[in-house]
Structures are given as C-alpha cells and as structure tokens.
Chains A and B, each alone.
Chain A
C-alpha cells in the first residue's frame, strides 16, 4: 500500500480554474514568518490565487491579508478551511463583493513622446480619475485606483500607446457598513 517509490498521479485541487471571482479577507498574527506560512500553503496545496495584499490594521498585533482568486466553490471551501487551520491565521472571511468596498492601485507607464498622445492620455486619466505622477520625454506614468475591472478597462484603453511598465498592488477590501 504505502511501500513503494513509484509515483501515482494525484488529483490537484485547482485542476479547473473556472468558477467565480472571490475576495477573501484574513486577519493574521503580525509577526515574522506568517506571510511565508500562508504563501507556502498555497504552493503546497496547489491553490492558484490571483492577488494577495497584506498590511497593517487598526490593531498593531494583527495584519490584514486580502486574497482574490477565481475558483469553484469546492476549492474556495478548501482554501478557507486550510487557511483557518494555520495557527497564525486568526480569522478568514469570504466577502460578498456586493457588500464590500474593494480597491486596487495600479501604476502604469506608457510611451508618450508626442503632444497629441500626451493630451489623449491626460484626458483618459481625468475621465478615470487617475493621477499623472510623472511625465518624461518618452513616457507618462499614471496612478489609478479602483476595482480590478476599472483598472482593466483603463489598461485596454491605453494599451495601443504602448505600456512599457505596469505595477498593480492587488485588491484590498473591507466589508461595507458596520459589519466587521
């Protein structure tokens, strides 16, 4: 039964990445090594996640981690249970996107050497309420905050100018209203 060195195929948890988009919010002990434990879990159990952000909270000894992923319900259920099993994870919640405020920040650097392009980009930026952070001879860098959809929409809009660099933070989220 267990006495063999011959590998047998084992099914993976995230063999199908179809499913819905989910936002998870977790409170973690704010101490060294905790982020490693969480990310190691994702790797070891074959969970594919879309984004992960982590930072301080209103309580100095806790960090908040926001995770977004596309998954079926079963994978989501396992991810939540496996996260809860980690001793440094104090709390895990699946947030209902409808009842959640969530935002992501993106920095987008585009080719913009001629005045027309610059005007056009400035125009788009203003429509999207993005800030222009830097203008050089060749490029413009824009800061945009919004839902991942909004960032995608802006990105599609400016793609033809030539995006030379892009940095996204991943989603941060909190429940709406008084809910904790």
Chain B
C-alpha cells in the first residue's frame, strides 16, 4: 500500500502494464493526469485533434499487438475519440482510452464540458469503467488491460472524474486480476476439431478463408502450415489481408465487394470452407443467404457470439485460432495424404488467376492507381508496414498491393473510418520505428486528419503518405457514376488544397508525382528522408475500382468492369 493521488496511480498502473507511449491532448478535466505525466518516463505524443490520438493508439496496437493508450479530456475531448474507439471496436483492436470527467458531484448537472461518455461509449467498447473512488484506479487499469487484450480484443474506456484524479488514497497495485463474468475461451474443443478433420479429409475442393483473427492472434505460420498440408487455396477477408503471404503459391488475395475476382469466383466453387477468425461480413461474402450454399463450413473464432451470427456453420471451433490451428496441424499431419500440386482444384486456381489477369484491364492512362501501387510494392522493403485510408484508395490497396510479410498491413475495415490511415500509420511507426510505414491514402481521407503532420514532424515519427489524388471523394463519385447516372453531388474537392505546400508548411517533405518515373523517384526519396513525406500522386477522377460486387447481390454477381 502506497499513498498517492488518483492521477499518479493511473500513470504508475499504466507503467506497470508496460505502456511506453500515450497519445493525447490535455484539457480542464484531465489536468491532474497531465501533471502526473510530468514526473513520468511515459512518452506523450501531443495530437492536434483527439480523434487522431485514438487512431494512433489503434495503429500502435495493431503492430505491437498490445493495447494502445490515448488520453482525452471530458466532453468534446471524449466525444472526439469516439470515432477512433468505434473504429478499434469494429476491428477488434485493443485500446485503453482514458478520459477526464467533471467532478463526481457535478455529474448529471450538465456541467461545462460534461458528457455521459460511459453512455456514449457503451455500444462501441468492450467495457467502460468509471472509478468512483481513487483507490479503485489501479485495479481498474489492470482489469481494463486484461479485458482489452484477451479473448477477442477491443477498446476499453476509463472515465475518471477530476476529483478522483486529485484525491489521495492508499493504492494497492494487483499483480493478477479476475473478472467475474468474463472468461475468454483459449483452447479449442478437440471433438469439434475431430469433426473438422473428417470434413477436410473428404473435401475435394477445400478453401481457406483467413480473417482478421489470424492477424490478431499472430497465427501466420500455423495458417500457412494448414494450407500447405491441405494444399488448399487461401483467400482472405479484407481485414485478413496479409494473414497469409500474398506471393505464396496458394494465395488468392481478399474476397468481397472489391475482392480479387479469382478469389470471389474460387470460393463459390469450393466444397468446403475453413474460415479462420472471420465473421462473414456483408462486405466479404455479399448476401448471407446465398453464400456457402452446398458447402461445408468450418468456422474457427475466439468469440462464441460470432458462431451463427451471420452464417450457420457445420462445425464451430471456439477458441484462440492460433491454438486451434496448431492442434489442427498436428491432427491433419497424421492422417493427410500429400496432394498433387497439379490436382484439378489447384489447376483451376491458376486458370482463374490467368483468366482475370487478362480480362480485367487497367484504366487506360500512364499513371493509374494500379500502376502506382505495383510500383510502391516493387520498391518498398517486404517488412514495411502499410495502412490505408478509406474509399477507392483502400480498395485499390486491397487489389494491387500485395502483402508479403504477414501482419504488416492493416486498415479500418469494419467501420471504414476516413482519416484513420494517417494517424494510425504514425502509431504504427511508434510501435516499429525501424521499418518504413506507408499510409496508402486518398485526398478525401487525408484531408480529414492531415494536421497529424505536425505530430509526425515534431515527434520524429516519419511516415510516407502515398496520396492517390483525384481531388474527389472517389468512391462516392464512383457510386454516383454507377448508380445515380453520373449525378454528382458533394464529391468535388476542386484542386484544394495543394498537398505539397501543406506538407511543407508542417516541415514535412512534399513531392508531386505526375508520371510513373516521378513516382519512383519520390518513393525512393521518401524512404531516405528523416521527416514525413507526402507524395501527391495525380490520378484520373474517372478511374473506378473493379471488380465490384454491388450491395445486396452475391459474389456470383460480381462486375469486372470490362
């Protein structure tokens, strides 16, 4: 037992959890926390808008695979981080968000900068705490990390009234914690794994669907081992992009609304799907009722509530997918007979890849999104980290930027948060400063959080903003072109701002690239620079993303645009 104030206990508890960095912005209701930070070795990164703090914490978490931490004050500070919290929740990313709150006695009085953030955060957090006594803080922090990082990870909010931050108490920092009502399943059910093996042995056309759960549990080598034993092609969801090396002879890339055409086609021809850490989202599988007809579905997930939520399955294996896959590898390697790599199913894979490589034409222009991203991939070291903004840029990244080293790619796939990529890339850089980090961006999204350039420059977290600029809210424009007879509304950015000047104004490097050779030089220059670089890549506003599975239709109805 040590006596100290609540704010100091918070900082010490974070340090005990191994936290090295917090992203935040101070205000009236979290001043005691910032005062306690003065005496701490915790690195604090001052953001220019709280939303970016939560995205940075998220980006950090996705690379570090432990909870990222962000701070905000009460009221608007707290509501500003909600977008980042909801983004982390949708993508099961561990995060601890600490908000200041008005003093206990003021709660419910509509005080200045008061908001019921517990109520606001409830639907988009795994849990939201509000300690009512200073001595509760160390235990609350311990519980928050346990909940955020275990099972299916997610964000946890700790809302601390200002007087609780300031009041003295005897603090006890627990080493271990139990949360009644929370016991995530770790080890998979062996009887269910046995059933899965039976189905997989019988399958003639098995396919593996790698989801975000593979990345969250770091089950890369296990997934690869299962794929190689089964000789099964591997598609991924978009969240699962990079759960399997995309240059592997069994890889087929992401399925879904803007998935790889061959992957969308192949999964419909399969007789058995092994879905690993995936949730059968509408963006991945199209219509729930149509998808998976006539196939056996084996579903591995750590979250029991995902089983049967969107899709009824034949076998459900609940547990950490790394542990489940590891056991599956052992069981399969005892019984599986090595398949011929030239078997009809794998020949079909090659046939489909070749077919669509010929059918889907690039947009007729010298510098296109596809060419730009292929060039980026060619130059960028394989261990580099890439993230994206949201919209066309994101889907082009999904289609044309192959992830070689598993776990080096992430995006706001669930919530689809524009403005996520840039601050998240800064968070990723903080997690792994030794590798290049790229935000594959569009102008609409980058515009939303571009003030994080100040953070990138001042906090020495240099990233590359690969800005495919059509001065357009491109995806919306594509939909207006496709579904609304080219009746454009609210999509034009009118050549504003000048992104080279924006970059320079913040002390970053800005380079305009109007040709493929200019782009190549720009990427090489960015990789050498010690400050952030914004590469303003001029692309045509009419360039669409194809293939396209129109919402409300199935993967079979995919349009290839040619």
- In the complex the two chains form, is A74's CB within 8 Å of B416's CB? no
The verdict on B257 contacting chain A, using a C-beta distance below 8 Å, is: yes
- Asked whether any CB of chain B lies closer than 8 Å to the CB of A180, the reply is no
Are B305's CB and A3's CB within 8 A?
no
Report yes or no: A4 in contact with B479, Cβ–Cβ below 8 A. yes
**At the interface, yes or no: B418 with Cβ under 8 Å from chain A?**
yes
Binds B, one of A6-14, A97-105, A110-118, A134-142: A6-14
Cα A161 to Cα B348 with chains together (Å) = 75
- Nearest chain-B residue to A81 (Cβ)? B305
Contact A81 B307 (CB under 8 A): yes
Whether the pair A1, B181 counts as a contact (CB closer than 8 A) is no
Is B180 a contact of A81 with CB atoms below 8 Å?
A: no
> Restricting to A143-174, which residues have a CB under 8 Å from any CB of B?
none
Query: Any chain B CB within 8 A of the CB of A177?
Result: no
Chain A residues in 8 Å Cβ range of B182: 87
B476 contacts A2, C-beta separation under 8 Å: no
Residues of A within 8 Å of B412, CB to CB, are: 2
Give the CA-CA distance A74 to B311 in the complex, in Å. Answer: 10
B181 to A78, Cβ gap below 8 A?
A: no
Known: A87-B179, A89-B181. A78 touches B475 (CB 8 A): no
Interface residues of B in 136-195 (CB under 8 A from A): 147, 179-182
Q: Once bound together, how far apart are the Cα atoms of A91 and B119, in whole Å?
A: 23
Is A44 within 8 A of B119, CB to CB?
no
Residue A93 CB within 8 A of the other chain: no
Once bound together, how far apart are the Cα atoms of A37 and B393, in whole Å? 37
Across the interface, which residues of A come within 8 angstroms of B179, CB to CB? 87
B282 interface hit (Cβ, 8 Å): yes
Do A3 and B390 touch across chains, with their CB atoms under 8 A apart? Answer: yes
Task: Kindly report which residue of chain A lies nearest to residue B180, judged by CB atoms.
Answer: A90
A14 to B7, CA, bound (A): 45
0/1 string, B107-135, CB within 8 A of A gives 1: 00000000000110011001100000000
| Residues 1-44 of A at the B interface (beta carbon under 8 Å) | 1-6, 8-11, 29, 33, 36-37, 40, 44
Asked if residues B551 and A1 are in contact (CB atoms below 8 Å), the reply is no
Q: Can you pick out 12 interface pairs between chain A and chain B where the beta carbons lie within 8 Å of each other? A: A1-B238, A1-B257, A6-B483, A8-B282, A8-B552, A11-B288, A37-B122, A40-B123, A82-B305, A86-B181, A87-B179, A90-B181
| Contact A77-B416, Cβ < 8 Å, known A3-B394, A40-B122, A89-B181 | no
A9 to B483, CA, bound (A): 15
Task: Give me the 10 closest cross-chain CB pairs, A-B, nearest first.
Answer: A2-B416, A3-B391, A8-B551, A81-B305, A3-B475, A90-B181, A3-B390, A1-B257, A1-B258, A87-B182
Interface size on B, residues (CB 8 A): 44
The answer to whether A2 and B305 touch (CB under 8 A), given A29-B180, A37-B122, A87-B127, is no
Once the chains bind, are A44 and B123 in contact (CB under 8 Å)? Answer: yes
**Interface size band for A:** 20 to 34
Which A residues are CB-close (under 8 A) to B304? 81, 84-85
Q: How far is the CA of A6 from the CA of B390 in the complex (A)?
A: 14
Q: Which residues of A sit under 8 angstroms from B127, Cβ to Cβ? A: 87
A4-B475 in contact (CB<8A): yes
Report B460-515 residues with CB < 8 Å from chain A CB.
Answer: 475-476, 479, 483
Interface residues of B in 392-408 (CB under 8 A from A): 392-395, 398
How far is A37 from B479 in the complex, measured between Cα atoms in Å?
Answer: 37
Nearest CB on A from B148, distance (A): 11
Q: Which of A2, A9, A88, A89 contacts B414 (CB 8 A)?
A: A2
Let me know if A6 and B476 touch, CB within 8 A.
Answer: yes
In the complex, what residue of chain A is closest to B444 when comparing beta carbons?
A3
Bound CA span A6–B257, Å? 14
When distances are taken between beta carbons in the complex, the residues of chain B under 8 Å from A11 are 288
For the complex formed, measure the closest distance between the CB of A92 and the CB atoms of chain B, giving whole angstroms: 10
A29-85 contacts to B, CB under 8 A, are 29, 33, 36-37, 40, 44, 74, 77-78, 81-82, 84-85
